[in-house]
A = this chain, B = another copy of it.
Amino acid sequence: MAKNEKISSAVIRRLPRYRRYLGELIKKDVARISSKEFSEILGYTASQIRQDLNNFGGFGQQGYGYNVKELHGQISKILGIMQEYHLVIVGANHMAKALANYSYYKTAGFIIDGLFDINPEIIGTEIDGKKVLDYVELDNFLQNNKIDIGVICTNKQSAQGVAEKLEKGGIKGIWNIAPVDLVVDKSIQVENLHISDSLHALVYYMNHEEQ
């Protein structure tokens, strides 16, 4: 990373989108792209794209634009998705199945090492070829395996307890799908995927479509 200032969250949330489009361009064998062309695809201003990227260094070249493959790689590096991450999923419900089976992860370095549930009828069943383990074994599992990310797919009542267990187990990040906000040490990153919040925002905009 070129500069040491804190990058705003708005910028960070655009990076995955940039990367996604660059991936599509690679598939289409597009070798280079200018901020202007890219802005037309993405619907941002060219200036914003240049500003965003310049937070991390000058990846482009005057008169040429950006090399698509290189920029894709640079953004991957910035985000930190050039390496593997080991995950556990707690709560082996439909959402867990959706996440575990999501083909994307299999190609992208996210490895689900363990699935846990508390329900005896679910423990022992298989999800994506992996046996669901008893939640009581989670502590042990975290001690014996190097896990980076814990995914919380439980109901809201159980989520905070699971978060605390994951925290004790030495996890670095929590991906929280449960519809609550978790309280954990600030050294642990929590990313919420609040499904109903998203639906509520949709409904708001449907009712106020003049924008």
Binding site for B on A (CB under 8 A): 6-7, 12-13, 15-17, 19-20, 78-81, 85, 93-95, 97-99, 101-102, 104, 108, 110, 148-149, 172-173, 175, 179-181, 187, 189, 191, 193-209, 211
- Kindly provide the distance from the CB of A14 to the nearest chain B CB, expressed in whole angstroms: 9
Q: Which residue of B lies closest to A19 (CB)?
A: B200
The answer on a CB contact under 8 Å between A202 and B179 is no
Q: Which residues of B contact A94 (CB under 8 A)?
A: 94, 97-98, 101
Q: Which residue of B lies closest to A205 (CB)?
A: B189
Say which residue of B12, B104, B204, B207 sits within 8 Å of A205 (CB atoms): B12
The docked-state distance in angstroms from the alpha carbon of A6 to that of B189 is: 33
User: With A98-B93, A104-B179, A204-B80 as given contacts, are A191 and B187 in contact (CB-CB < 8 Å)?
Assistant: no
